[in-house]
Structures are given as C-alpha cells and as structure tokens.
Chain A
C-alpha cells in the first residue's frame, strides 16, 4: 500500500479511538468538566500531562531546531524539562491541597481580592490564546501535509475533532484522550529514531547512539563537528549564544513552563497531594523519553542530510529528497551548474536549503522504513497537535465560565455553569480556528514569548502565595502588572517597534527578548516584595489558609467554594 493510504488508515483509526474515548468518558458535572472529578491516577495524569505539554512543535520542529543550532538548542531541552522540577517541588502539591479548579481561583482566594483574580484571568486568557492560535495553525499544517488537503480544510478538520471531544468531554474526556494520544505520539517518534540509530551507529538506543561511532569508527559528534567546520558552519557541540543569554532563555522557559495554566491545572485532577508529586515525576519521565531522543534524531538527521545529499550529483539524489522537494521543505539548486550539490555556510554559494521540520517528517524515508511508519508519524504529529490544543481550550473555557461568570454571577446553578463552560469552549475553538486559518503575522512570533509572559506574571505570585505568609494583595497585583508590562514592553519594542535594533549590542545585559521573561520574573518578585512592605499584612484567615495548604493531610477532592 502507498504512503497516503496508510496515512488515511492510521490517522482514521486514531481519530476513531479519540472520539470513542470522548463519548465513553464525557463529563456530566462541573467537577468532571474542570478536573475530571479529581479521580485520575497519577500514572494516567502523568501521561496526559506529557501529551498536553508536547505540542506539534515539540514533536515535529524541535529536533530540527536542534539539528541546525547544535549546542544552542539545549535551551529548549533543559528549559522545557527543568520546569517540571519547579512544578513538582514548589507548586503542584500545594495547589492540589488548595483544592480549587483553576490558577485564577488560587490567586483570587489567596490574595482575597477579585481584582487580583481578574488580573490573573486576563493573564491566563492572553497566554492561552496566543499559544492556542499557534497550535491550530500547527494542526492545519500537519493535516494539510499528510492528508494532502489545503491548510484551511486541515484547520477545519482539526477544529471539528477538538470541538467534539473538548466540548463534550471536558477535562475528563480530554484526560483519557490525551493518554491515548501520548501512546500514539511516543510510539511514532521512537520507531524511526530507533531504526535510524541502528543504521547509523549500530546501537538501538538513540540516547547511546548519539555518543556512539559511525561506520568508519569515529565518534558521530566528532565527525559532525569536523564536517560542519569544514563547510564553514559553527561546531555542533559548542555554542554561539552568549552564556548570559543561554542562561536567561533557559530560566525563562523553565519558569514559564511551571507557570503555564494548562499545565498547572492538570495537577488538580489527581486524588491526593502525594499523587500530585508523583504525577509530576511520571509526567517528566514520559516527556524525557521524547526530549532525550530528540537531540539524537537531530544529530542523526543533519548528519544523514549532509552525508547523503551534500557533494552528490544533482541528478542522482536519494528518493526522499525527490519526494520532499515537492513540498519545498528541501530545495536543491545547482547554482554554479557543476552538477553537484554544494552545502556551505555562505548563502551566496550554498545550493541546499533544508527546512527544520524535515528531520522528523522525512526520518522514516531517510531510514528506508516501510510506508506504514510514515503514516504512523503522521498520526503522531496530529496526536501531539490535538492534545495540546484541547488542553488549552479547556483553560480558556474554564477561565470564562468559572473565573469570570461565577465571580460576577454567583447564584448560577451547576447546570447553567456547565452550559456556559461548553459554550465558552465552543467559542474558543472557533476563535482559535479563525486565527489558525488567518494567522495574524504576530502569532508565530508571540507563541515563543508565552513562556516569558507566564514566567513574569504567574510564577512569582504563586510561589509567594505559598512560601510567604506575609505577601498581600497589593504586592501580588503590583508584581503581576510590573512583570507583565515590562516583559511585554521589551518584547514589543525589539520585535515590532525597532526590530532593526534587535541584537546583542542593544539588549539589556545582553538578554534577548526570548530570555527577558527571567528578568521580568525578578522585577515581579521585587515589586511584590517592596509593595507588600508598605501595605498591611493579609488577614488572619488567609494566613491560616496558607498554613493549611502546606500540610498534605485533609486534601479532599478538588472542591466547590
């Protein structure tokens, strides 16, 4: 059977599975809609968190980014995993003990102020919307590439599927669908990685293969360093970014990960505090499987691309190059007409342009694996995109129905609230889909900054809320606003107002807009601290609540007010 048939079969089967699960596990109460009833096992929640977390970008693009940036790509690897340590040690257990449904819930109660709650709701909506618009675009691209439909139809198909199970199933449906999606995506990522590792290094474990030797007995990484330097590129294993910028970006990504609302809410779904801790551990194991394999896929991919294409005659290129040239993801131009493909750092004479996404997308073909593996990778990419989009949509609908409506219309019945939650989810799908089809130029730019914004707004306020009994509402509001405004201002200044000044010489302390969230976080902490010194302590009952949060015993299931 050909690739397209296999793709349709495998993608169709996986969709049928997701929809089946959604129908079987649909939510019947607000508790189930928001937190899956609070009865998810730590292992299942870990898997769901991993799928929620790993987007189409993690699945398809990350390996390619690392392939072309080498050591510098480590910021993503460390940043997007290290955040889970912060989450497990500093946030998850306490938020679970607190036992409400959302992050703004915590901010509103802990800082005894609806103003603080509303600021938090807007931060959550802003972060989630920028993120989900990018995801929907990703869904569209993945669908169009594999199913050979245009991007618009791709987004529409994706919207329908997400609409169906997010609106119907709520958190409960999403959780169990994500478990299935994790299995699909990790299997799809590992199969080609293992085969390529065997072919290139003889070692079936990609993590070891990366440190192994290629056929001529030299180490893969040494060989790669050598080849790249010969071609005029930078060494693979050392960096170009300054140390301070590496540091700032990694920190912003870590802290941002720990502050992203759609990740935090996952820890409200487990029954006990100890489950929340354990669940964060499982989540990181499942994420680490992909994140430690990705750098191997990256190095194998770039090595293979150079080895099989660069310096080869133009009319005798491997099949996969021919195939992917049709999509313009790989472009070969024989500029000097010598019939050979030159791959060089100098753009004037370079004849080979490779898109980053090819490292994962074309991996099965490069490794000459059977056609069903290509279909599998397609299903995996879609699983990654759909699971993240669904998780984000839930945060948006919860923010609207619970944090806004409930705060200002307190007398609502549960049934009404559930209807509003579903309507909000439906509306969010449509808005996200609209942005997916008509992406405003800034979306792709801004997605990367969602982390910086989360780092600069939520993280310090939640940490202070747990670890300081003295932090008050004035401090928290000042902190969130200063952190967010500073970070947003810096990003807008360098990205949109004066993009021509966006270089190391003009950055503050040499920190790029990608890493500025870490400075924003410090400003947030500082503002919290200073303002709270000059304003009254929080009331007695709030201080007691903080003491209560710190002790595991007595955590009921996530509760109503």
Chain B
C-alpha cells in the first residue's frame, strides 16, 4: 500500500512536470511572441506575414492545438507506465 502511494506520488509529479512544460510553451507563443515580443518580431517577415502578427492571429492557435494532442499522447503513455490507465 505504501509502495502504491509512493508510485502515485511519482505519477502526479511527472504529470505536473508535463503540464508545466506544455504550459510554458502555451505562454511563450501567445503572451510571449503574440503580445510582449510582437513589436520586435514584426521586423521579421515570413511571406506576407509579419512574425509577431502571425503568432497573434495564426501561429499561437496552431500551437495550442498541437499542445493538447502532445498532452494526450504523453499522458496516455504515463498512465500506462504507472498502470493507472483505463481499460
């Protein structure tokens, strides 16, 4: 039982770590690139897009979608590893 508790603690720690990494990316693309750094990034152009503007209106949204699917993948792996997945 104690062993099980230790395992669950470890599972939760890894879960938090995954979430924190993904949320930092979430923060960097939207609040970072899309808002705080938008002005300087606008000096860089990709096609017709200024980079800061692109992050604010397109790039951040694409990244959000990818983040959720990465989370789904990582958590399914983690659940399996700690044998807490649903049958």
Give the B-binding residues of A (Cβ under 8 A): 66, 71, 73-74, 77-78, 81-82, 84-85, 88-90, 93, 207, 210-213, 219-222, 237-239, 243, 246-247, 250-251, 254, 272-274, 277-278, 280-281, 284-285, 288, 291-292, 295, 467, 547, 550-555
The answer to whether residues A274 and B85 also contact, given A71-B53, A550-B12 and a CB cut-off of 8 A, is yes
Question: What size tier do the contact residues of chain B reach?
Answer: 35 or more
The answer to whether residues A552 and B46 also contact, given A82-B64, A295-B57 and a CB cut-off of 8 A, is no
- B65 near A220 (CB under 8 angstroms)? no
Query: Which of A81, A211, A274 is close to B64, meaning CB atoms less than 8 Å apart?
Result: A81
Task: Give the distance in Å from the alpha carbon of A323 to the alpha carbon of B7 in the complex.
Answer: 68
| CB neighbours of B35 from chain A (8 A) | 74, 243, 246-247, 250
Task: Give the distance in Å from the alpha carbon of A547 to the alpha carbon of B87 in the complex.
Answer: 20
| CB neighbours of A66 from chain B (8 A) | 57
- A274 near B72 (CB under 8 angstroms)? yes
Smallest Cβ-Cβ distance to B20: which chain A residue: A89
Task: Give the distance in Å from the alpha carbon of A516 to the alpha carbon of B34 in the complex.
Answer: 20
Work out how many contacts link A and B, with CB atoms closer than 8 A. 142
| CB neighbours of B57 from chain A (8 A) | 66, 71, 73-74, 77, 210, 292, 295
- A219 near B48 (CB under 8 angstroms)? yes
29 pairs across A/B with beta carbons < 8 Å?
A77-B56, A77-B60, A78-B34, A78-B60, A82-B64, A85-B67, A89-B23, A89-B67, A210-B57, A212-B48, A221-B48, A238-B39, A239-B38, A243-B36, A246-B35, A254-B30, A274-B72, A274-B79, A277-B72, A281-B71, A288-B61, A292-B62, A295-B57, A295-B58, A551-B8, A551-B11, A552-B79, A553-B79, A553-B85
The answer to whether residues A284 and B39 also contact, given A78-B30, A82-B26 and a CB cut-off of 8 A, is no
- A78 near B56 (CB under 8 angstroms)? yes
Does B19 count as interface, using CB distance less than 8 angstroms? yes
A553 to chain B, nearest CB (A): 5
| CB neighbours of A219 from chain B (8 A) | 47-48
The answer to whether residues A82 and B75 also contact, given A71-B53, A550-B12, A553-B85 and a CB cut-off of 8 A, is no
- B61 near A292 (CB under 8 angstroms)? yes
B26 to chain A, nearest CB (A): 5
B72 to chain A, nearest CB (A): 5
User: What is the 8 Å Cβ interface bit string for chain B, positions 30-62, against chain A (1 contact, 0 not)?
Assistant: 110011101100100011111001101110111
Does B86 count as interface, using CB distance less than 8 angstroms? yes
Task: Give the distance in Å from the alpha carbon of A257 to the alpha carbon of B38 in the complex.
Answer: 24
| CB neighbours of A237 from chain B (8 A) | 42, 50, 53
User: What is the 8 Å Cβ interface bit string for chain B, positions 7-22, against chain A (1 contact, 0 not)?
Assistant: 0100110011001001
Smallest Cβ-Cβ distance to B46: which chain A residue: A211
| CB neighbours of A274 from chain B (8 A) | 72, 75-76, 79, 85-86
| CB neighbours of A243 from chain B (8 A) | 35-36
| CB neighbours of A93 from chain B (8 A) | 75
- B46 near A85 (CB under 8 angstroms)? no
B79 to chain A, nearest CB (A): 5
Smallest Cβ-Cβ distance to B56: which chain A residue: A74
- B71 near A88 (CB under 8 angstroms)? yes
Closest 4 CB pairs of A and B: A219-B48, A74-B56, A281-B68, A211-B48
| CB neighbours of B36 from chain A (8 A) | 243, 247
Smallest Cβ-Cβ distance to A281: which chain B residue: B68
B28 to chain A, nearest CB (A): 12
| CB neighbours of A467 from chain B (8 A) | 16
B17 to chain A, nearest CB (A): 12
B51 to chain A, nearest CB (A): 10
| CB neighbours of B64 from chain A (8 A) | 81-82, 84-85, 284, 288
Smallest Cβ-Cβ distance to A80: which chain B residue: B61
- B38 near A71 (CB under 8 angstroms)? yes
- A238 near B65 (CB under 8 angstroms)? no
Smallest Cβ-Cβ distance to A247: which chain B residue: B35
- B53 near A82 (CB under 8 angstroms)? no
- B69 near A550 (CB under 8 angstroms)? no
| CB neighbours of B56 from chain A (8 A) | 71, 74, 77-78
- A281 near B30 (CB under 8 angstroms)? no
- B75 near A277 (CB under 8 angstroms)? yes
| CB neighbours of A212 from chain B (8 A) | 47-48
Task: Give the distance in Å from the alpha carbon of A211 to the alpha carbon of B57 in the complex.
Answer: 11
Task: Give the distance in Å from the alpha carbon of A285 to the alpha carbon of B66 in the complex.
Answer: 9
Task: Give the distance in Å from the alpha carbon of A544 to the alpha carbon of B14 in the complex.
Answer: 20
Task: Give the distance in Å from the alpha carbon of A251 to the alpha carbon of B35 in the complex.
Answer: 11
Task: Give the distance in Å from the alpha carbon of A463 to the alpha carbon of B54 in the complex.
Answer: 31
Task: Give the distance in Å from the alpha carbon of A239 to the alpha carbon of B50 in the complex.
Answer: 13
- B49 near A221 (CB under 8 angstroms)? yes
- B48 near A82 (CB under 8 angstroms)? no
| CB neighbours of A239 from chain B (8 A) | 38
Smallest Cβ-Cβ distance to B68: which chain A residue: A281
B16 to chain A, nearest CB (A): 8
Task: Give the distance in Å from the alpha carbon of A267 to the alpha carbon of B50 in the complex.
Answer: 37
Smallest Cβ-Cβ distance to B76: which chain A residue: A274
